[in-house]
Each structure stands twice: as C-alpha cells, then as structure tokens.
A and B are shown apart, each in its own frame.
Chain A
Amino acid sequence: MAAVSAMVSIGGRPSWSIRVARVFLVVAAVIVLAWLLVLPLIAIFAEAFRQGWAFYRDAISQPDSIAAVRLTLTVAAIAVPLNVVFGLAAAWTMTHFNFPGKALLGALIDLPFSVSPVVAGMMLILVYGKYGWLGSWLEAHGVQVIFAVPGLVLATVFVTLPFVARELIPLMQAQGSEQEEAALTLGASGWQIFFRVTLPRVRWALLYGVLLCNARAMGEFGAVYVVSGHLRGLTNTLPLQVDQLYQENFSAAFAVASLLALLTVLTLGIKRLLEWRHGEALTGR
C-alpha cells in the first residue's frame, strides 16, 4: 500500500511511511540492476584480464579474432545502412499514407521482434540453402549465400529490421506533415523536402535507432549461428568466435567477449549522451 502511494505521490510533502517506501523501492531497484547487469559486466572484464594484460593482448590479436572483428564490422556496415533506408521509407509510408494493408505492414515490421532468431536463421536456410527454394539456382550462378558473408548479412538485416522504423514512426506520427506541406507550397521538390525538412526533424531519433540497430547487428548470435557454418577466420563473427573459444580456451573467450561488451557499453554511453542533450527532440516535441 505504501509502495503504491510512493509511486503516485508526486510533489507535496510526503509522509514518513511514503519516504520509507521510496527509499526501499530505489534500493531494491539498484540491487536488482547491480545483480543482473552490472555484476556480470564486471565479471566479464575481470575474467578477461585474469591472466594478465599480455595474455589479453595475445588473445584479441590472434588472426582469427581480428578476422572476427573485421567480419562483424563489415556485416554491421552493410546491414545498418540497409535498415536505415528501409526504416525511413517504412516510417514515411506508415505515417503519411493511408492504404489497405497498413496494419499488416505494421505487424510485419514487428515480426523480427517476435520470431526467435534461430527460426529466422532456419527460414534463410530453407530459402537460400543448398536444398532450399533458391539454392540450386543460386549455386548454378556461382552465388553462395548460406555459410558465407551474404547469409550473415541477410540474417542480421532480418533481425535488426524493426529498430530504425520503430524509433521513427511515433515521432513522425506526432509531428504530422504540415511542415512538409508548407515546404511543398514554397516550391521545394520531393528530395529537397526530405533532406531539408523531414530528415533534420527526425535526425536524433534516427541516430538513436541506428545505435540500437548497430548494437544488435554486432551482438546478434542466434540467426547468425544457424547460417554461418563456423569457418574460423571466414564466417565467424565476434559472438560466434566467443562461443567457439569458450569450448576450448576459457580465458581467451572472455578476452574476446570483453571486446563485444565494450562495443555495447560504448553504444549505451552514446545513447545516454544523446538523451541527455536532445531529450526533447527524441520524445517528439
């Protein structure tokens, strides 16, 4: 009861029991977060450095690890721009036009959120694999998708598809299209409207979506696991490399994992910074 009053009482002078409840809630939240998030994160870095800096350096500078870093960056560098374009187009379509099947499109954008990544990988195998629908045709034309970089990119694009679009749609909905209409009557062309009016208005939300999309693209494991084939130095992204090392060399696995964790922490840091500096623009003023 006191906990409920603590949540609903904003402003005014809180009573003694409410203050106690507040402190209790805050402490509880901090403990849960520390236990579930902060502690494991520290553990990764502790484990990575347990055998000393030299070991750490050797572990992450192995050719296989460097190849994994390069592959992860390559896949993200292809998947993220693709999803930026898709996300902008989808958000624009969803917020500026009415058409039959709009609800279906909205549901489809969310599909990757609800489908298990493993299933996503299996779907790709079914379509592009050697015995898949397009597999023989692709093989005849010398294109390998599964167990190669294109498959990794496809899997990553599928899994990260909703991030940009879902970030933009609520903002664009709130903003409406009056400014675009004003620009149109002032003589601006479609591209001029997009680059001078629409894009600047959603830039922070877009950047935010890109960051989330990028974090997921680099960290994706399930879908990529299915289509990769685990060829060291060829189709192993960072998460896959960590997984393989984990079976052989415990500490080296944590050294590589710490790289991945570092990328995540960096992304989170930039996200916080953006929220702090541009909070109003992000919430769709």
Chain B
Amino acid sequence: MGIDISRLRRQFGQFAALDDVSLTIADGEFVAVLGPSGSGKTSLLRILAGLDQPDAGSVYRDDEDLLALDARRRGVGLVFQHYALFPHMTVAQNVAFGLRVRPWRLRPRASVVKARVEELLRRVELESFASRYPAQLSGGQRQRVALARALAIEPRLLLLDEPFGALDAQVRVNLRRWLREFHRSLGITTLFVTHDQEEALEMADRVVVMNRGRIEQIGTPEQIYRYPATPFASRFIARGQPLPGDVEGGILRVLGHAWPISGFATDGVSVITVHVRPEDIVPVVQRREGWSANVLSVRPVAGTIRVGLHVAGLDEPLEAEWSERDWLRHRVEVGETIGVHFQSLTLFGSDGEGRVHARTEVHPPHGTSPITVGPWRRLEA
C-alpha cells in the first residue's frame, strides 16, 4: 500500500511548482527526490507534511485521504535542512515536545515520556547530550536531534528536507551511511529531497528526478544512472554532455562521423539530443582513429583524473573522467593533441515541448580496421 500521490498541481502565480506529479511509495521504502533548486521538490515535501495545500490532486496513505488531515494530525515527521530545533529547550525537551503537546487524554505519563526520550537519544547516539542546548551541539548532532524529535511522534511517514545540506563534507558522508543503516533498522517509509546526485544515488532505494515541477524519471539508482530517460536526467545525474548530432534515414551523424542505427523512431520528433558521459570518452592510442581532441586541463580529483578536452567542431569543452590507475600508465599533458573515442552515446528524440518520444544507447564502432585502444581504457559494456 504505502503512499499514493496522484496528479498533484501547485501553482504560485505564473510559476508551476508542481505540474501533474504522481508517485507511489511502498511501505518502508526509502525514496529520494532529486532535482535542482526550483524543481518543486520542496513544494512536494511541504504538501505531504501539510504545510501547504495543492491546487489539484490527491494524496492517500492506504485508504486515508492525507490532504483532508491538517498538519498536526497527519503523523508525518519532518526534518528541516536547518534543523529548526527549539533553541530555548534542551535536547531532551526538544525530543519530548511532540509527546508533551498531545491532548491530555493521549498524553503519555511523564515517566513514559522520559523513557521514550532516552530510548530515542540512545538510538541517535546522543544519550549523554540530553541536557545540552542546541547551540552547544555540532551540525551533525543537531541534525540527529531533529531526527529523534521527528521520530518521537511515531510517524508513519518521515520526510527529510536536504538533511545534509548544511553540513561539511566529512560529516555529511558519515551521517549519510549512518542514516541508511538507521532506516534499515526502523523501516519507516522515508522520502528525502536533495539536489546532490551522489547522495540520492548512494542512499535511496528509488530516485525520483524532478525538473521544473515535473517528474522526469523514477527508478532505482542503477537504472537512472545507466539509462536516463530524458536529456535533463542524463545531464543532471549521469553528467551527460551534449554533442551536436542528427538522425536522418536511420543514420546518426556526430561531428563528421556517421553510423546506421536501429530502434529509434523519429515520428513526432523535432529535436535530437546526443549526450556522452565523462567516463565514456576514452583516449585511443592511434591518433587517426576517433575524434581529434586538444587537452586543455588535467585535474586529479579523489582517485580519478578529470581531463578537459577541446574536440574539433565543438564550442564547449568536454570533460572526460579516467581512473588514476589508467592515467599513471599513460599520461597525457596539457597542450597535447590526442585521439578520443566515444564508447557510448545516449540519443534522445523530443518534440517541441521537450517530451521525449524515443531514446536509445548507441555504441559507435571503431571504424573499419581493428584498432588498438590504449591499455588503460575502461573495459566496460
């Protein structure tokens, strides 16, 4: 059962924050909503929490109409990006808040509240911080207090708004792993919004990619990374870089090379988009093969090498990403001209309104003669 979101629409003046958004979340699932700022992901979260109302659409939890319940009765736990802890209350008082504000008939006894708070603080590994004030805690600790506070009301849906957005990189990575484990042990249906691709791909069971109020793609992290459904998803998640290309009579032309392709229907298609991922741009040893490229920059970043390339016929530089091990075996220098090959291209055919009608993966052949690809190329696909 879980949560059933259907055809949500939210308009702010001329701006459509949510445009016909439908999504089903299974019980206990961990779903990431991924999109740039202004994509509508926070609007979706606020509507689910009851802090905002949609202009149209419905949200059901099992057979219960969630939109008919006001925020205080919804049983939805919300964790804010900037924690929104109550600064004049101790950690324990913050966590106890949701229990203490219940109508007196439903309010647990003080001893029960105390035990519950202790239990929650133990779970978020902050049991020794109960009498501290939020100002005395680090960012990661505050975020865990906010989480414990939201969990105190035993929510049936947990919403996290950019939960790691305000933390520094090291804390973020640790807290991410911790939260993943934590979710596994709790099993609460969880929706978290983020603009960080890595975060979404690493943590979520399923990822919802949003752009300009619309859902672009829903799928597992693997599916979305490997098979982005739209040019936006490709650019935003797989770091797809556009190449000029067009399709005519079953022939794909890209930068002076052409191949026959199949399984790509061009009916109703007016815009062809060709994307290549950084790791699919590989160097070839024999320069006559592939495309000629000038090396603009070489930057080592955490075990990988990012190489800026100027490919003849392109205005914008392309970025290639190679592993450091391959790199050490065969260096290229800034200013050098090398040959590159596109191992895999993603091809989209869209109509004038940006709707994708056809997509396919193309693996350009290495020309007519068997060619040697450098020993350090990635052996994939």
Which chain A residue lies CB-closest to B81? Answer: A178
Taking a contact as CB atoms under 8 Å apart, the answer to whether A188 and B72 are in contact is: yes
Question: B153 contacts which chain A residues (CB < 8 A)?
Answer: 186-187
* B84 lies within 8 A of A178 (CB): yes
A252 to B73, CA, bound (A): 65
Q: Select the stretch in B97-105, B112-120, B313-321, B359-367 that faces chain A.
A: B97-105
Docked CA distance A185–B156 (Å): 12
Is B80 interfacial (CB-CB < 8 Å)?
A: yes
Q: Are A184 and B72 in contact (CB under 8 A)?
A: yes
Q: Say whether B72 contacts A178, CB under 8 Å.
A: no
Q: Does B49 contact A (CB under 8 A)?
A: yes
B51 touches A185 (CB 8 A): yes
B71 & A185 in contact (Cβ 8 Å cutoff): yes
- In the complex, the chain A residue whose C-beta lies closest to that of B135 is A285
- A182 in the interface, Cβ–Cβ < 8 Å? yes
Complex interface: chain A residues within 8 A of B306 (CB): none
- Classify chain A's interface size: 10 to 19
CB–CB B78/A196 < 8 A: no
Asked whether any CB of chain B lies closer than 8 Å to the CB of A200, the reply is yes
State whether the Cβ of B82 lies closer than 8 Å to any Cβ in chain A: yes
A188 / chain B contacts, CB cutoff of 8 Å? 72, 97-98, 101
Asked if A196 and B51 sit within 8 Å, CB to CB, the answer is no
Once the chains bind, are A178 and B88 in contact (CB under 8 Å)?
no
With contacts A187-B102, A189-B72 taken as known, whether A181 is within 8 angstroms of B97 at the C-beta atoms is no
The CA of A200 and the CA of B97, in the complex, are separated in Å by 14
Residues from chain A with Cβ under 8 Å of B74 in the complex: 185
B150: chain A residues within 8 A (beta carbon): 185-186
Using Cβ atoms and an 8 Å threshold, which residues of chain A touch B50? 184-185
State the CA gap A184–B72 with chains docked (Å). 5
In the complex the two chains form, what is the Cα distance from A179 to B142 in whole Å? 14
Within 8 A of B (CB), among A109-135: none
Indicate if the CB atoms of A179 and B72 lie closer than 8 Å: no
Per-position 1/0 for A231-274, Cβ under 8 A of B: 00000000000000000000000000000000000000000000
B149 within 8 A of A: yes
Q: Could you say which of A181, A184, A187, A197 contacts B86, with CB atoms under 8 Å apart?
A: A197
Within 8 A of B (CB), among A154-208: 178-179, 181-189, 192, 196-197, 200-201
Return 18 A-B CB contacts under 8 Å, by A number. Answer: A179-B84, A179-B86, A181-B51, A181-B80, A181-B84, A182-B84, A182-B85, A182-B146, A184-B72, A185-B74, A185-B150, A186-B101, A186-B150, A188-B97, A188-B98, A196-B86, A196-B97, A200-B86
Given contacts A183-B97, A196-B101, 12 further A-B contacts (CB under 8 A): A178-B82, A182-B80, A183-B101, A185-B51, A185-B77, A185-B150, A186-B97, A186-B152, A186-B153, A188-B97, A188-B101, A189-B101
Chain B residues with CB under 8 Å of chain A are: 49-51, 71-74, 76-78, 80, 82, 84-88, 97-98, 101-102, 146, 149-150, 152-153
